[in-house]
Amino acid sequence: MATSSKVANNAEVTAKHLPFPKQVHYGKYANLNSYAELLQKVQRNLEAPCSGELILSDLVQLETQLRAALTHVRARKLRLGCLRPTYEGKGKGLKAKSVHQSLHDQVQYACVQFNVNEEKMLKEENQLLEKQIVAMKNSGETYYNRMTGCLQLILHDKQHCICLNSKAALHVV
C-alpha cells in the first residue's frame, strides 16, 4: 500500500508541474491518456514488485501512448521553435534560424542532385535515340522498301476488299 500511495503522490506532484492540461488530444490518439496518467502507469507497472507479470498487450498499449505523447511534445517544440524563434532568447532564435537554413540548404541540394540525375538520364536517352536513327539511316533503303511494299500490299488488299464489298452489296440488292 505504501508503494501505491507513493506512486499516487508522485503523479499528483508531476501533474501539478506539467505545463499541459490533463486532457490533451493527440489527433488520431484522442482516446489516449494524459502525460500524468502515463507517468503514473509507468511507475505503477514498472516499479511494482510484480512487474514480471505484465501482459504484453498492456506494454504495447503503453508504448503506443508514450510514442503519441512524445510525438505531440516534439511537434509542439518544433512549432514553438519555428513560429517564434526568439521566444526563449537570442541564442535559441539563432539556433532555430541556423537549423532552418540547414534544412533549406539540404532541400536545395537534393533538388539540384535530382535535376542532375534527370539531365543525365535525358542525355543517355538522346544518345540511344541518335544511335537508333543512325542505324535506321544505314539500313534505310531496305527498311523504306519494306515499308513501301507493306503499304502497297495493304492498299491493294483494301481496294480488293472494297471491290468485294461493293460487289456483295450489288448482289444483295
Domain boundaries, the chain: 2-83, 139-172
Please report, rounded to a whole number, the percentage of residues in the chain having pLDDT higher than 70.
Answer: 43
Which sign, positive or negative, has the C-alpha torsion 23, 29, 32, 35?
negative
**Which of the four pLDDT bands, split at 50, 70 and 90, describes residue 147?**
low
What's the pLDDT at 109?
77
Average pLDDT over residues 126-143: 77
What's the pLDDT at 170?
43
Q: Which residue has the higher pLDDT, 166 or 139?
A: 139
What's the pLDDT at 31?
57
Q: What is the DSSP letter of 86?
A: T
DSSP letters spanning 18-68: -SS-SS---GGGTTSPPHHHHHHHHHHHHHSTTGGG--HHHHHHHHHHHHH
pLDDT digits (tens, 9 = 90+) for 37-76: 767 777 776 666 655 566 777 777 878 888 888 888 777 7
Q: What is the b/e burial string over 137-162, where b = at least 16 CB atoms within 10 angstroms of the residue's CB?
A: eeeeeeeeeeeeeeeeeeeeeeeeee
The contacts of residue 152 (CB under 8 Å, 6+ apart) are none
What's the pLDDT at 120?
85
What's the pLDDT at 18?
45
| Separation between Cα atoms, residue 173 and residue 170, nearest integer Å | 5
pTM score of the predicted model = 0.26
